[in-house]
Structure 1
Amino acid sequence: MTTFTPPPDTAAWQHLAARIGFEVVYFQPLPDGYRVEGCTTAVEEGLTWVVDYVIELDAGWATRSARLASRSAGGGRRILLESDGAGRWRVDGAPASWLDGCLDVDLESSAMTNAFPVHRLRLGVGAASPAPAAYVRAADLAVERLEQHYGRLADEEGRQRYDYAAPVFDVACRLVYDESGLVLDYPGLATRAA
């Protein structure tokens, strides 16, 4: 079973290829999990946007809530996602049955949120699992269900590696993580800067 060291106080990613941007995140331990506060700024297809987020995780790294605010030339938006930790969600207080079974939030604007499934699943080498997520779009904070899959490979140079797939986006790549379970390299999207 996979074990990770506690996350650092802060981490950052530079976004590549898909967009020009940067993400900074801060981790705060709570008695029963973590609070993750971050911000992503980017230029994508000529449009600028900013997404601020506060995500609370339980002790098993399942998402319990995600409070997001976005800004763009089109204006600002806010959204609140809440989960019971067993796969049932509310979006701005209303039941969101299309997210049933999801235990993670995945932000389009974030490389950091790919840490949640690997922490929660704790896959051994050779193991694989689906990890559907509540996926939040950057520009308008629309919430969708994202079917995704993680498969643990043998470590290389002390780094954990996972084959990741999100078929709806035609994405299949290898993600490399550090000892605290944070993405170091997300091909075509982001690389760890701090």
Structure 2
Amino acid sequence: MSIPTLIFRTIRWSAWEGCGAGMEHVDVRPADGGLAISGVVIAQEEETKFGLSYRVKLDALWRTKEVILRTTAGHVLHLASDGQGHWQENGKVRPNLQGCIDIDIQATPLTNTLPIRRLDLETGESMDIRLCYITVPDLIASPANQRYTALDAGSLYRFESLESGFTADLPVDEDGFVLNYPGLFKRLG
């Protein structure tokens, strides 16, 4: 599934009721033959409140090329990839991330869209992937194994963490962006 010639989107999510206060604002725009995504998150992880800004650059095949994250507490993480699974963190090679194509930023449903779009699964099809999982607010990047299944291609996907067994069914809009992440995030109008 290639990137449509014009994707300009502004998306907002809030925390699911009962999950505490939180909000995210994301801008998506075409750039350099792919997409540039910028987001701001104000949220809480357990008892830790945090602010996070991030930028993600994707190529035309929805592969992550660069991600820069900053917390209001001063943590910074800069990851760069060739889109083929070779990563550097702050300019140094990260051998344990080799083979990862996608990223998953813990604090946002936005990054679930990346493998959903990149994999372009047909209804009933599943794929296991290894990706770069980034915890927030400490901004630690590590490899993780996940599975995506197209329950209804183009509108509903199952996400599974193969390490923890966590599962969520994610409805998406016409461009593949997550509408709601049950129990965690809900899209604002």
Segments of structure 1 that go 5 or more residues without pairing to the other structure are: none
RMSD in angstroms over aligned alpha carbons? 1.8
SS in 2 for 1:120: helix
SS in 1 for 2:75: strand
Q: Structure 2 CA distance, aligned partners of 1:90 and 1:80?
A: 8
TM superposition shift of 1:161 = 0.7
Q: Corresponding residue for 2:67?
A: 66
TM superposition shift of 1:167 = 2.8
Contact 1:19/1:189 (CA < 8 Å) preserved in 2? no
Q: Corresponding residue for 2:159?
A: 164
The reply to whether residue 182 of structure 1 matches residue 177 of structure 2 is yes
Residue 169 to residue 189, structure 1, CA distance change in 2 (3 Å):
farther
Q: Structure 2 CA distance, aligned partners of 1:41 and 1:52?
A: 9
Counterpart residue type for residue 165 of structure 1: E
Q: Corresponding residue for 1:154?
A: 152
Bigger mean CA offset, 43-52 vs 62-71: 43-52
Q: Structure 2 CA distance, aligned partners of 1:153 and 1:4?
A: 22
Contact 2:2/2:62 (CA < 8 Å) preserved in 1? no
Q: Structure 2 CA distance, aligned partners of 1:4 and 1:69?
A: 27
TM superposition shift of 1:168 = 2.4
Q: Corresponding residue for 1:79?
A: 77
Equivalent residue runs for 1:13-32 within 5 Å = 13-16=13-16, 17-32=18-33
Higher strand share: 1
Count of aligned residue pairs for this structure pair: 187
TM superposition shift of 1:169 = 3.2
Q: Corresponding residue for 1:144?
A: 142
Contact 1:7/1:181 (CA < 8 Å) preserved in 2? no
Q: Corresponding residue for 2:186?
A: 191
Residue 76 to residue 31, structure 1, CA distance change in 2 (3 Å):
closer
TM superposition shift of 1:46 = 2.9
Q: Which has the higher contact order (CA 8 A, sep 6+)?
A: 1
Counterpart residue type for residue 109 of structure 1: A
Counterpart residue type for residue 137 of structure 1: T
Segments of structure 2 that go 5 or more residues without pairing to the other structure are: none
Q: Structure 1 CA distance, aligned partners of 2:134 and 2:178?
A: 19
Contact 1:3/1:122 (CA < 8 Å) preserved in 2? no
